[in-house]
Chain A
Amino acid sequence: MKGLMMKGLFVKDYKLLSTGPSAFNTIFVAVVLGMFILTDLSSYDGYSGINLIIAAFLVGIRSYDVCDNGLAYLFTLPVSRKGYVRESYLFSFLSACCSLVIYGIFDRVLTAVLRPDGPIPFTVFLKAMWECFNIVLLMIALLIPFYLFFGAKRRNSYILAAVGVTMIFISYIGSMPLCGVIQKGARFLKTFPVSLLLLAVSYLISVRLMEKKDF
């Protein structure tokens, strides 16, 4: 039964993603712009920026559920509150990872053709992808509790706040000399455990918020 609930929620989210007004369009525009901008960049910060936008919009699918008190009706279907929260995190994570992989593949192919001196070195590319993965975790951790508790009315404010916090977090933690082995330049290794921890805390907060919420 839990499997059927998860399947139903996944199908719903997939349908929302594919019929939603701006998610796919925004991702498409972000990817295309990113391809051209990144042909001139040697750093992987550009990747982070583009994927930050993509992650924000993918997590933003939650706003389609919460607008017009939609969650009230959703919880009259065979959906438990905890199950819904679990699926929200899982779907956001998986869809963001999928977009990351697709984006990475397209980027390798297109920059190989468009960039005069070929695609950026593979090691730099991998670091960039790993950092984007961290960004995805952070955006999910920061955005989902806001959507679930406060609804979709201030959606843009949440996104801006989450983007800001993520950028500060990546820059600040990334530049901290945590230990001798992990040097500056390997900031993704430092941020990953903290991102995972934040994600776990965020999930627990969301479950608690959802179980106490009146609709």
Chain B
Amino acid sequence: MLRLENVRKQYKDFELDITMEVKPGYVTGLIGRNGAGKTTAFKAGLGLIRTEGEITLFGKPLEKITPADREKTGVVLSDSGFSGYLKVKDLVVILRNFYHEFDEEYFKGKCKEFDIPFDKQIREFSTGMKRRLQVVAALSHNAKLLIMDEPTAGLDVIARDELLTMLREYMETEGRSVLLSSHISGDLEGICDDIYMIDDGKVVLHEETDTLLDEYCILKVTKEQYETLDKSFILRQRKEEFGFSCLTNEKQFYLENYPDVVMEKGSVDGVMTMMIRGDGR
């Protein structure tokens, strides 16, 4: 669906250098600290910034993407949206004229469900309401690929849950894919098939979510236990007051060979913290 191969973008004090792929039928998550390069990666994938490297969307190089191909994508951006001077009732007419497959009933229904006012200028909306509007618009024209940068930002717990349910319903149709980022790791754990962690513009980890949750863990070891620990499968380690925290992707090996070691179940937050703050072996 979308592939970024050695994509580089150089700014004054930041460089993005990333290779990643969103496979058909996959929900792919992108996670990282603020300023890690998530939005830059999204913009690169959408052709909003000029980059080096190779980007393909629906199997075509990005420079050959036509408005017809754009109809097959639905996008939520964290720092941009519809003109604030428009009203939702205007958007209905505009989207109808942009998309062949715009589902007006769905769009109106979801707007009502999310309490999005039809007769108010978008600039008067709250951040969460703007985000919900973008999500509904992205889902309303039978897109094959959703690209969503922080779609849950500014949403309360209920709205977040509703949005994730909408995404799950969207994925029930075969051949669709989603690329999304979120600073709330729980959102990604619950919906993503695979996750890319990026830091300082580079991918530090790519893993299937199930693997990450099942096979990764953080070993909490004392200095004495650390000395005798087989470090062959330790990805990152970090000095703590009690000794060391060690990230591994071979939980079973340590379960079997070091039954006395305290293990913390793998989580997106835990793994990310270790991958970013921990030291290499």
Contacts and interface: CB of A to CB of B under 8 A. Distances in A.
Q: Do A and B bind each other?
A: yes
A79 B67 contact: yes
Contacts of A149: none
B34 interface: no
A30 interface: no
A80 B68 CA distance: 10
A159 B77 CA distance: 30
Nearest to A65: B83
Contacts of B75: 73, 76
Nearest to B93: A11
Given A73-B80, A215-B80, A16 B86 contact: yes
A21 B121 CA distance: 10
Interface string B121-152: 10000000000001000000000000100000
B84 A19 contact: no
Contacts of A69: 79-80
Interface string B34-46: 0000000001001
A70 B81 contact: yes
Given A1-B67, A4-B100, A80-B67, A68 B48 contact: no
Interface in B75-103: 75, 77, 79-87, 90, 93-95, 97-100
A178 B79 CA distance: 52
Contacts of A72: 43, 48, 77, 79-80
B66 interface: yes
Interface residues of B, number: 34
Interface of B: 43, 46-50, 66-68, 70-71, 73, 75, 77, 79-87, 90, 93-95, 97-100, 121, 134, 147
30 contacts: A1-B67, A1-B68, A4-B97, A5-B67, A7-B97, A8-B95, A8-B97, A11-B97, A12-B83, A12-B86, A12-B94, A15-B94, A16-B85, A19-B90, A21-B85, A68-B80, A68-B81, A70-B83, A72-B43, A72-B79, A73-B82, A75-B46, A78-B67, A78-B68, A79-B98, A80-B67, A83-B67, A214-B48, A215-B48, A215-B80
Interface of A: 1-2, 4-5, 7-8, 11-12, 15-16, 19-21, 64-65, 67-73, 75-80, 83, 212, 214-215
